[in-house]
Chain A
Amino acid sequence: MTTSFQKKTRSKVLQIPGAKPSIYNNQLLISTGIPSLDHILGGGVAVGTILLIEEDTYGNYARLMLKYFCAEAVMTGHSLLLASADADPEQILKELPAPIIDDPGKGEATLEEPSHDSSSDNMKIAWRYRHLPKFQSNTSGVKFGHYYDLSKTMESELTQTVDISTVDSSLCACDSKQTDGEFNNPGYNSLLKTIQEKIMANGFSTTTQVEKRNILRLALHSIGSPMWGEKGGLTENEMYSPALPRFLVGLKAILRTAYACCVITVPAHLFCDKAYVRRLERLTDTVVEVDSFVGSDKEKNPVYKDYHGLFNIKQLPCLNSLVCNMPDSLDLAFKLRRKKLTIEKLHLPPDLSETANRSQEDPLKNLKPSSGCGTGGRSNKLEF
């Protein structure tokens, strides 16, 4: 293929703190708060799109990912709208992970003020760097993506520095009397209205002119759970309920003309039908599934002993471009360490034991039903 060495003019891309243009298609991206997830999604989540996270059975890991997303809003100074009917949104805000601040000046000021005199003088490690200036040369202000420490929670003073609004279960409870037939869900309707009003009032719409452009992050927790009045995606007469698809279509239409980005977690295992879940996926942009091993057979399987669950990418967005980012491999798994959640390629551990688990069925076979090539219908490669 021929390449023409023309320098692209990127003057049109806006400079917004905490956002960067994608290296693939110049789309404006923001970080999810998990660097490994950003990398998989092609640098981050594109502004104006919806990221759908299908929850694991108990919803713990998906909630953690949502917390990362919220924490990133605090660190970058983006506005945040957090909605949850299952948990108290204020409580979620209190449990955000604490940022790891690698800037020495800042770190001392916020974290180590009480023990200042004991620690700062006797630094012996890295003594040769003593005369270096204490501030970092990176003066761009807010950088893209932060690291967090899950063992600590973010201080509430820090959380209060950004504009956060919350929506809790009272929203759907108060309106539940007034029903609009079986097609719309009053809870979703008022949530959509709140989002719309927030975007209009604070100038996040692409049509309004503001001096300093900021980005709105929407974090919607457990949409489609029974707390929102959802009955497994069905209407009274056992048809697919159009309420949630309607909400998603509305949300997508709003986001396409706004400097906003939305992360929704959905308890997909509560829905009646896989076909219904697939319909929901089609209406959003990026879809990932968190499949935790808790309570399943895989938990005991030695192959997976390094991981806490599988991470499936179901759909990647191609907004403003012909092709979406194609990652090298879709076999991903996540693990939760003491301080952080990481998503990485699934590697099998070396089989060192004498009494190897050969008798066991190949566990990856069920995972990728059609990925083997050539080995016919045999159940095991060692079988003749």
Chain B
Amino acid sequence: MLEFIKIILTPEFLFSVIRVMTPILFAALACMVFIKGGIDPIGIEGIMLLASMAGPVGGYYTNSVIGGILAAILISLLASLLFGYVTLKLKSIEILAGIALNTLASGLTIFIIYYVAGNKGSTQSLTSKVAPIIELKIIKNIPYIGKILSGHNILTYLGIILVFVLYYILYRTPLGLRIRSVGENSAAAESVGINVLKYKYITLIMAGTIAGLGGAYMSMGYVSFFSRGMIAGRGFIGMAAEAMGRGNPYGIFLSSALFGIADSLATQLQMLDFPSQLIQTIPYIITILGISIYSYRHKKVRKVI
């Protein structure tokens, strides 16, 4: 037990929490924007997978990191808008369109990397472009804390900045007010002359971009290549984190951190004498617990009203 606490308190462990929570944070923030604008976020998994594939491939062709990230954003925008076209314009059921998008992504990514890299498993044969690591000047030298907070990928810092930026956009600007009103009661928004469809598409563009950054982080930061199915449920865990964070950016940051801790713990405990199959279930058990607690409290609140 002592050994266990020792592990948790090491700066290396806390550093890895931040590293591991980054993709979940991006996924959860994207889900939050989708849900605020009244769009089902179920396709997030596929959108991120496509982006994580486009990152290294785009980086390879343009021979630049920026090129890779832009390619990731571009493809997730296209996927997000495709989802919007199919559901808003062609009136398909959101869940079905989302599942179709996820299935399409898992097949299409393999096809493209086979075409580009000649391998169905990963893009390791391509020269990899990785987003840069940032050392924070003053913080770096603070003992203990410096080791935890400094030296992360630039996308990680971007994700944390996004928490605040999105809070201000959603709760302090007319744009955010309109997105929220369209998502919650589109008839009311329409009755005051708001173009509902326009704000739905703005939602899709915002959420798509965030999801794209999350995908790019996976293959250009977390690791330096794309491998098949590498999102591995992080999009769905993001949905859970969004629900647990009650749709609030700050709450979402905390719930993403919780998932980060669970995930890192699983990795660390594998080095001790625990059965690894059991340990790998920890993040998912935390998900179920988190959602249950959230729903239970939510139900109580509803009863009081």
Whether chains A and B associate is no
| B residues adjacent to A (C-beta < 8 A) | none
